[in-house]
Structure 1
Amino acid sequence: MRSLFFHIDASKIRCQSIKTTVLAILVSMFAGCTDLTETPYTFIDPGSYYKTEEQLNTALTGVYAGFRSFASNWALIYQLEIMTEHYSPGHTKQNSKALNAWQNVNQSTTYNFQIWDSGYDVINRANVILGRGEGIDMAEQTRAQIYAQVRFIRAYTMFTMLRIYGGLAIPESYTSGLDGLEIPRKTADETYDYIIQDLEYCIANLPTRSQWGSGAYYKASKGAAQALLGDVYLTRGCMNNNNTSDFQQAKKYLGEVIDSHEYELLPDYKDLWYWYVEEAAKNTKESLFECQFGTNANNELHLYFGVMDTQKSLGSKQYHRASVSHQAYFSYLPEDTRLSCMLTEYLTDAGEKRYWVPENHGFYGGVTGGWLTSGPGNVKFYDRTEAAYTSGCAKANFILIRYSDVLLNYAEVENYLNGPTSDAYEKLNEVHQRSLPTPVTSGLSKEDFDKAVYQERSWELLGEGQLYFDELRTNRLGKNVYEHVRKYFDLGYYLYDKLQFVPQQSFLWKIPQTSLDSNPALEQNPDNISDPNYPI
């Protein structure tokens, strides 16, 4: 079995021994192995593989694949959604209730390890290409474009991990053995600077979307790097007491995306989703970057945001771990076209109508409507084709950066800098009036305009793994979770537990204990303290 940079005799390694940060970096692509013995690793010089441009492009494909596994991991998206007021426990299985109630937040063995380990796998795959590519005889522009794609993926991965764990341990090179892997963590600011340097390189060396051409719209582009860098600066500014210089940089890069005219909102919100238009939903002019799925790469997000039923009308097999919360569903105005993504009824193969009844308060099974889960589904992840039903494989892409997100980020940062200007209103209303007939109320205060932008993001991006980060950086998360969970627990909604913890803006997840054990240079995050403003 060959990895991207070394060879391992897989029959001589025991899986349990590799579930640590360092060993995940080394062999994470073998995470599915079982019953392996514990003997020393053997390495083949990576120089024996990285000899040609073709081999470097093959390795680049591996980086994209590893990143897809990281960024669209159900455990990541599921946790990020259910720890907000936008999603609630959808079924009794898994740890939905504990996550929704914010239990055990200071235990290093509680939260899913796949996020940390999978992230470092992506970082190392990227570092291998950057470390080995210099020795290959190829055109410098081509090499720079490969490097820029790799650095974009590394930057996106690190930005996600930074917002979850804080400052990261940053390997200076790829790993080819077990020596020298005691890597201390950088500060959050040092990690931000590292990400920014990657994205500046990307902007200088990546083609635009139109320059890539239709056969390569899936690749990282200059516009995607500009949008991500704008998000990075916006987040750092919010986390740094609303730092004006960070906000100015955010506005600059977001504005460059808008002024490029490479992207536009689709006229109909439904055209973004495979459920409605199938393959035409992939890599549209509204999409800046998305995880690609096809026949041999199943998008499992539909499983965990599904409605716990297998019917031809629903396409591929579904489970259900998280449900659109009743609060989120009823926040939409009745005329909002985005409600079309909320699945509240369907026909079984036998022609029976099943429908969600809000008055059931999340109870399911044997109740009015025959609904099998606690709340609505979200069709953004669904593939309802007959082929999906037959194969069980969902081919819907997962969009990571959308043009609507760019417009809303721009409106938010413009408001931070200058108040609710006509420019800020214009960007907000582009998104708002795609789905609603009337514009946002004019004459809002700076504070109320900020609330309007956040509300729009909630309607626009529900279920896409972004709202947790939005709420954390704007210091909304604790208040919103507190009010939501207490209300629905007190009302007796099914699957709600009493809230155990209220996060502050400084909240960080614990680094997995196995990673601390294998890298003595790592320091654990301090225990989080529940927000004293919201007693539980």
Structure 2
Amino acid sequence: MKNIKYIVTVMMSFALGLTSCESDLEENPAGNISIANFYSSEDDAIAGLYGVYNSVYSLYGNTAINYGEVNADNATVSPNVSDLFEWDEFTYSNELTEGFWRSAYDGINLANEVALYTAEIEFDEEKRADIVSEAKALRALFYWHLVRTMGGVPIYETPTIGFDAVDTPRASADEVYALILRDLTEASLELPNTSTAGRLNAHIADALLARIYLYRSDFPNALAHAKKVIDSGAYNLFEDYAHIFKTEHNNGIEHIYQIQYLSGERNNPIPGGFGPRALPGQYGNSFWANTVVGGSIAPSAEFSAQNPISYRRSVTIADSYEHIDGVTGTITMEEAFGPGVYPYYVSKFDDRANELQSGVNFNVIRYADILLIAAEASNEVDPGAAEKYTWINKVRERARNGVEANLPDLAGLSQDDFRTAVLDERRFELAFEGQRAWDLKRRGEFLTTMRAQGKTVEDYKLLFPIPNNQVRLNPNLTQNEGW
């Protein structure tokens, strides 16, 4: 916990330091120490690296949920609020991605600074190589989010200063992926197998490579990297599905890579986005003590109807909750909101004890995901492989958790039926963790699935728009078709 707190605090301090210097940089740039001169020791390199990690926060939390869940079929907007309506109904404008774009390229530029200037510092060669590789792997993470969201984007492998290279054109998606895969492959070979919580290591790089190769339908490589993680023996499933999402189990045996949060210092916004936000005068403010929660996101009717009966389902969604006053007792959603209005809420991130000052970490990738990646890739590489059933059934067994469930072990499926089964398993195992829209898109099922829900989704909305402001600033930056 001490190391986690240190990392979060350093990240916050680094970000605040950059902000506090902004006016000075504008008023008297010649009087400030250059970035290059800042990097003079190993400690400087590590401080710069923590600055890159600070930028990673912008990719996750609410951002991951909006891009990966709210505009997919698992989630809908709570009937009590409409602040995410444009995500749910695909009515957003081409200004939507401005903040995401800026955050991603800020992170890329910081990573480039660390990689470039650390290589010039004299200290232990192995440590120096690790820091450079870690910075490039973080750069790859930013590019991965950009390319799957908007397609090909400009590539920068060195720091930009001022208005340098503002006219860089878009690279192709294949070129961006080549950079991502190169940097993560280097990290999987260069970095140690263990790291301080919140920092990348070789196993995390392999896990990310497995996910990205799956997204690219490169099933042999997806399987190879997933098996490296499995065969390492470093990870396993929690016995209890609920433990994945509890603060006291942060950085546990199943968590391959988590974004670190610390209650009261850097709070995870995710728990506040879910749960029943009560109407005024109805059973207090919310099921989280006396704190009014955002409560913007609810499970869709389709998700609630199609999610098989299991222990996992009971952790993921609920139709009632214990009132925080300790007197009223159990409140059903029907009692609180009326028949059929808001029958279920997402309960898997319930952190009521902390009243929205949540210190629960965000799961970027966990072991259950790797098992399902291995199962899916194996089905494509060798449909007759027995291991694919071992991997998927391990996830299903934990989902049952010894209770009566409509979730039997799988066996004897055709290749196509197994494809359907593993996609469904991912849907319910990884629900509301930022994966669903991307799974549907990579499988070519996004448009048909959303239209079946009655959504109006034009073909071009498979990609998000390049921010209009960026197109205006860069004459060589073309917009995605349709936007």
- Which TM class, normalised by the smaller chain length? 0.7 to 0.9
Offset at residue 11 of structure 1 (A): 4.0
- DSSP 3-state at the match of 1:289: strand
Give the equivalent residue in structure 2 for 1:355: 332
Counterparts in 2 of 1:272 and 1:6: CA distance versus 1, 3 Å: closer
Alignment partner of 1:300 is 2:269: yes
Q: Is 2:213 the partner of 1:230? A: no
What amino acid sits opposite 2:49 in the alignment? L
How far is the alpha carbon of 1:92 from its aligned partner?
5.3
Q: Tell me which residue corresponds to 2:371.
A: 407
In the TM superposition, 1:465-480 aligns within 5 A as: 465-480=434-449
* Aligned AA (2:157): E
Partner of 1:508: 463
Correspondence list, 1:54-453, <5 A: 54-72=43-61, 74-91=62-79, 93-103=81-91, 107-109=93-95, 111-209=96-194, 212=195, 216-237=196-217, 246-274=218-246, 278-279=247-248, 281-294=249-262, 295-309=264-278, 310-311=285-286, 313-314=288-289, 317-350=292-325, 351-352=327-328, 353-357=330-334, 365=337, 367=338, 374-385=342-353, 388-389=354-355, 392-436=356-400, 439-453=408-422
- Mapped partners of 2:418, 2:241: distance in 1: 23
Q: Which amino acid aligns with 1:188?
A: A
Partner of 1:460: 429
Deviations 1:227-268 (A, max 9, x none): 11111111112xxxxxxxx22111111111111111111111
337-346 vs 180-189, which moves further = 337-346
| Long gaps (5+) in structure 1 | 14-37, 238-245, 487-498, 529-536
Letter in 2 for 1:59: G
Tell which deviates more after alignment, 154-163 or 345-354: 345-354
C-alpha distance in 1 between matches for 2:19 and 2:290: 40
1:523–1:375: structure 2 CA closer, same or farther, 3 Å change rule? farther
Looking at structure 2, the residues matched to 114 and 374 of structure 1 have their Cα atoms a distance apart, in angstroms, of: 31
Structural RMSD (CA) = 2.7
Distance 1:94 1:113 in 2: 21
Partner of 2:4: none
Amino acid paired to 1:292: Q
Sequence identity of aligned pairs in percent?
A: 27
The aligned residue for residue 483 of structure 1 is 452
Cα distance in 1 between the residues matched to 2:14 and 2:415: 56
Call closer, same or farther: CA 1:255–1:186 in 2, change over 3 Å: same
> How far off its partner does 1:124 sit?
1.2
The 1:48/1:91 distance shift into structure 2, 3 A limit, reads farther
The residue identity in structure 2 corresponding to 1:466 is Q
TM-score (normalised: structure 2): 0.87
Given the superposition, is the C-alpha separation of residues 471 and 59 from structure 1 closer, same or farther in structure 2, using an over 3 Å criterion?
same
C-alpha deviation, 1:53, in angstroms: 0.9
**Residue of structure 1 in register with 2:6 after alignment:** none
Q: Letter of the 1:443 partner, please give it.
A: G
Q: Is the 8 A contact 1:133 1:143 kept in 2?
A: yes
Once the two structures are TM-superposed, the CA of residue 317 in structure 1 deviates from its matched residue by 4.7
Could you say if the C-alpha distance between residues 99 and 143 of structure 1 is closer, same or farther in structure 2, counting changes exceeding 3 Å? same
- Judge conservation of contact 1:316–1:384 (CA < 8 Å) in 2: no
Q: What corresponds to 1:34 in structure 2?
A: none
8 A Cα contact 2:210 2:224, kept in partner: yes
SS in 1 for 2:331: strand
Counterparts in 2 of 1:381 and 1:340: CA distance versus 1, 3 Å:
closer
Contact 1:90 1:375 in 2 (8 A): no
8 A contact 2:287–2:321 mirrored in 1? no
- Quick one: structure 1 residues 395 and 328, their matched pair in 2 at CA, closer, same or farther if it must change by over 3 Å? same
| Structure 1 letter corresponding to 2:173 | A
Task: Quote the Cα distance in structure 2 between the aligned partners of 1:378 and 1:426.
Answer: 29
1:2-41 pair list within 5 angstroms = 10-11=22-23
Scaled by the length of structure 1, the TM-score of the pair is 0.79
The unaligned stretches of length 5 or more in structure 2 are 1-12, 279-284
Query: 2 CA distance for matches of 1:201 and 1:119?
Result: 21
